[in-house]
Structure formats: C-alpha cells, structure tokens
Amino acid sequence: MKNYNTIAIIGTQWGDEGKGKVVHYLSRNADYIVRYQGGNNAGHTVVFDNKEYILHLIPSGILEHKKCVIANGVVVDPEALYNEIQFLKSKGFNVTPENLFISDRAHVILPYHKYLDKVREETQKIGTTQKGIGPCYADKYSRTGIRISDYLEEDTFMCLLKKNIDEKYPLIKNFVSISRESLIKQIIKNYKIYSKFLKPFVVNTTNLLINAIEKGKVVIFESAQGTMLDVDFGSYPYVTSSNPTVGGISIGSGIPSKYIKKVIGIAKAYTTRVGEGPFPTEIKSKLQEVLRKQGNEYGATTGRPRRCGWFDSVIVRYAIKINGVDELVLTKLDCLKGIHPLKICIAYKYKGRLYYDFPSSRKIQFLSKPVYISTAGFKEDISKIKDYQELPKNVKKYVELIERYCGIKIKMFSLGRERDETILR
Ligand code: IMP
C-alpha cells in the first residue's frame, strides 16, 4: 500500500477546539488544505503576524499561501464566499483560481435558506448560527438543492429557483414579512456578479485531490464544528447538519477512505458549546464567567457567549473511538490559570447507572450527572513555555489525568493564539 501524506484534523468536542490554529500551524508543511463539510457557520480564528483573522469558509492555509479546497460536502453561500475572498484580498492575501478550488458539486445557500433557518428556530430551538446551513442540507437530501454547477448555468438556475420559491415562500411568509417579489429580487440582485466571480474557481475537486494524494502531496482535511455536533454521532437533535467526523471526509470530498493516513483530534483543555442542547459538564457557578473571560469564549461567527464547562473525558474518549484518532492536541491549557481545583468528568450517572460512553437518549444526555475527579490547579503563566518538562507539576498532573481517562498520549499543546505558542512533545 502506498504511503499517503494525508492528515485529518477533527474536533473532539462541540466545536471551537482551536482547530484553526492547529491547521494553520501544520499547513506550513502542507500542499493542500481541504474543507469537506459545513459552511460559513464555522469561524476559525487565526492570529498571524500579530493580526487576527476570522475565516468562515476558506481554510486558514490560505494565510500560508497554500492551495485550499472547498469540497463537495460543504454548503457554499455565494455572497459569504465572495465577501470572504474580498476581505482576504484587502488584507494582501492572494486568492486566485491557482490557490482556491471550489467543488462543482457543492450546494449553494440562498437567502430563502436563511429565512427557513429562522422559521425552524421558532418551532424547534437549536440555537443555530442562522446561516441557512440546515435548510440547505435538507434540500440536498430532499433533492431540491442547487449545486454550484447548476448555479453557474443561468437558465438551469432560474428554473430551479422558481421551483424552490414556489415550494418555500408559502412557509416563509407566515413568519417573515417579505413579499415573494422582494425575495426573488434579493436572490437575483447580485446573481450575475457572484456567478461570474465564482466561475473560475469551480472545478472537479475530487479529481484534483485524488491526483494530488496519488502524487504524494501533503493534504490536510480540516473539519468544521466537532464530533458532538455531528448529525449522526453528536447530541442529536442539538447538532449541525453535516458530518464533521472522519467518515464525512470520504463523502464530503469524494476520496476513498483508504487515503486517510493519520487522524489528529483536537480537544480544548475544558469544554464549551454554543447554542442549545445537553452539556453535562457545564459549570453552573460564577466560575463559568471566569473561564469564559480567560478563554475569550465568544462565538467567532455569531459573537454569542459560549457555554463553558469542565473537561469531559466521556465525549473525548467517544470522539477518539469513532474517529480513530491517532494523536491528540490539547489547546488553551493556559486559560485554566488560577482555577482551583480543576475537575475532569470521567463518567455520567443516571438513575444509579454509570455511563462511560456517550448515551444516545436525549433524556439521559440532559438528565445524567457528571462523575468528577479533582486535581490541583496552577497559578503560573505557562504560555511562553516551549518544553513539556518545564510545565508546572500541577499542569503535568492535569495532562496525565486527561491522557489516562482518554486512553491516548497528547502530542501537541497549544498555549496561546500565536502559532509559535505551541509545545511539541
Ligand atoms: P447550524 O450549524 O448553524 O445549523 O447550528 C447548529 C448547532 O451547531 C448550533 O448549536 C450552533 O451553535 C452549532 N455550531 C455550528 N457551527 C459551529 C461552530 O463552528 N462552532 C461551534 N458551534 C457551532
């Protein structure tokens, strides 16, 4: 079997684990960086040359002048992508059809998807990002979606648009005050600008990736969101509408699963989630606000305060298992400074029974109580430390407990937002 140079970077919690920084760090040695699911619901914050960049659709490898791919499993809002490319260009980054490739099979998000996202939130509150992600994937699976190749053909697009408006407007008008004509106008107003602009970037990304991988190029697959937001394996229904787990790579990019060589899981040193849904280790005291401030835990896409809690080894263990994680990266350890004691959840308890695996029942997910172990906190600023051995003893103890309960060695630590605030072990 050939030795492929591919790496999957997977979030092991509810997203926001710091994947953007890790991808940016690893992209120095990569040829291609690929997004395979999700859309502009994601927000990757990367600090580069002392400047902060928040990217939503384009992989952070673009900052390293690498080739970036938006594969077929992603849902693309043409307006959001257009704006993101303009933003990068305004900051001096070259984004051209030589370094950005967009799949002809990716589905497009249109304004009616965003309205439908709002409508759905009225009846089932998930706390979505309101970017139209769920309704766009729903269209894909109900076979009414519009793929980029259809979007670029004006006659096909207009015909599909009419069918979709006929189907969706009656529902939208019950919740949103907009006329049918205004909705259509909103969509076609900039259609020509976006379609003309996007066309040169659109290719068969599956062929591109298979060729690259066969030639031994280094290809990084970057998940958006995290395992617990996976529509199959996460805390359903409080999830996103795609598969951030490793299984999503093959479907979302068209490459055979045998090409995936290494899986790196990213875990934050504590847990956060945005939006509604069960969160067994959520901290209910004032300490939650302390952690939120220390970790700057506010949504990169919506600005919402993230819910914060203790490290949950039940979910990380589960993510390691279902993604086949080879190596774990622990991020934001520095943000726990001054918090004493530190707690790690090792199991859930419901009606006297212990759960070591993440339960499927939403009732148990909501009502189970975490079982914790505690260990001493630390007071030192660790962000400038470059050698694992130099970390304070209480930090190492905390790390060793995470390793013991997750059953994996941590290979890399991220101790700050800058790329070099990192320890390799
Ligand atoms: P949607 O993906 O906008 O449909 O939102 C569904 C759920 O996923 C909500 O709880 C969102 O807050 C959450 N979500 C979506 N994208 C992200 C992300 O990038 N980080 C964290 N949570 C996210």
Give the residue, by CA position, lying nearest to ligand 1 atom 15: 41
Q: What is the DSSP letter of 2?
A: -
Q: Which two tokens stand for residue 412?
A: 């890399």
User: Which ligand 1 atom is the nearest neighbour of the CA of 229?
Assistant: 8
Q: Give the ligand 1 atom nearest the CA of 117.
A: 4
CB 239, CB 37: distance < 8 Å? no
42 lines ligand 1 (CB under 6 A): yes
275 lines ligand 1 (CB under 6 A): yes
Angle between helices 111-123 and 180-188 (to 10 degrees): 130
Q: Is the CB of 274 under 6 A from ligand 1?
A: yes
Alpha-carbon distance of 150 to 112, in angstroms, equals: 17
Nearest-angstrom CA–CA distance, 75 and 107: 5
Average pLDDT of adjacent 10-residue blocks, the chain of 425 residues: 90 95 91 97 85 90 93 98 95 94 98 96 93 98 98 98 97 94 94 97 98 97 97 98 98 97 98 96 96 93 92 98 97 96 98 96 97 97 94 97 97 89 92
| Residue 134 in contact with ligand 1 by CB distance below 6 A | yes
Q: How far is the CA of 129 from the centre of ligand 1 (A)?
A: 6
Q: Is 229 in the pocket of ligand 1 (CB under 6 A)?
A: yes
Q: Is 131 in the pocket of ligand 1 (CB under 6 A)?
A: yes
**Token digits for 33?**
């960086």
* Angle 97-98-102 from CA coordinates, rounded to 5°: 45
Q: Please tell me what DSSP assigns to residue 109.
A: P
Please state the φ and ψ torsions of residue 82, each to the nearest 5 degrees: -55, -45
Name the residue of 17, 35, 41, 117 to mutate for ligand 1: max ligand atoms within 8 A of Cβ: 41
* Dist. CA 35–CA 20, nearest whole Å: 12
Q: Which two tokens stand for residue 216?
A: 């031994």
Burial of 387 (0-12, 13-18, 19+ CB in 10 A): exposed
| Overall pTM > 0.85 | yes
Q: d(Cα 16, Cα 19) in Å, to the nearest integer? A: 7
* Nearest-angstrom CA–CA distance, 153 and 325: 41
User: How far away, in angstroms, is 124 Cα from ligand 1 center?
Assistant: 15
Q: How many CB atoms lie within 10 A of CB 243?
A: 26
Residues 6+ apart with CB under 8 A from 1: 258
> How many Cα neighbours within 13 Å face the side chain of 119?
19
Sheet holding 67-70, edge to edge: 202-203, 100-103, 67-70, 32-35, 219-222, 6-11, 262-268, 327-331, 410-414, 422-424
- Round to whole Å and give the CA distance between 405 and 259: 30
Q: Give distance in angstroms: CA of 130 to centre of ligand 1.
A: 9
Distance 131 CA to ligand 1 centre (A): 10
Ligand 1 proximity of 133 Cβ (cutoff 6 Å):
yes
Cβ contact 127:133 at 8 Å: no
Token digits of residue 80 = 């959001």
128 alpha carbon to ligand 1 midpoint, in Å? Answer: 6
Say yes or no: CB of residue 55 within 6 Å of ligand 1.
no
Q: How far apart are CA 265 and CA 228, in angstroms?
A: 13
Cα 117 to the center of its chain, rounded Å: 19
Give nearest CA residue, ligand 1 atom 8. 240
Distances (CA, A) of 345 to 86, 87, 270, 410: 44, 41, 10, 18
Instruction: Please tell me the distance from the alpha carbon of residue 34 to that of residue 400, in angstroms, as a whole number.
Output: 32
Active site residues: 16, 44
User: Which atom of ligand 1 lies nearest, measured to the CA of 274?
Assistant: 12
Q: What is the pLDDT of residue 1?
A: 64
Q: How far does residue 394's CA lie from ligand 1's centre (Å)?
A: 33
Strands 422-424 and 410-414: antiparallel
CA distances (Å), origin 348, targets 150, 367, 417: 48, 9, 32
**CB of 231 closer than 6 A to ligand 1?**
no
> Token digits for 250?
């093959």
- CA-nearest residue for atom 20, ligand 1, is 15
Q: For residues 274 and 14, what is the distance between their CA atoms, to the nearest angstrom?
A: 8
Q: Is the CB of 79 under 6 A from ligand 1?
A: no
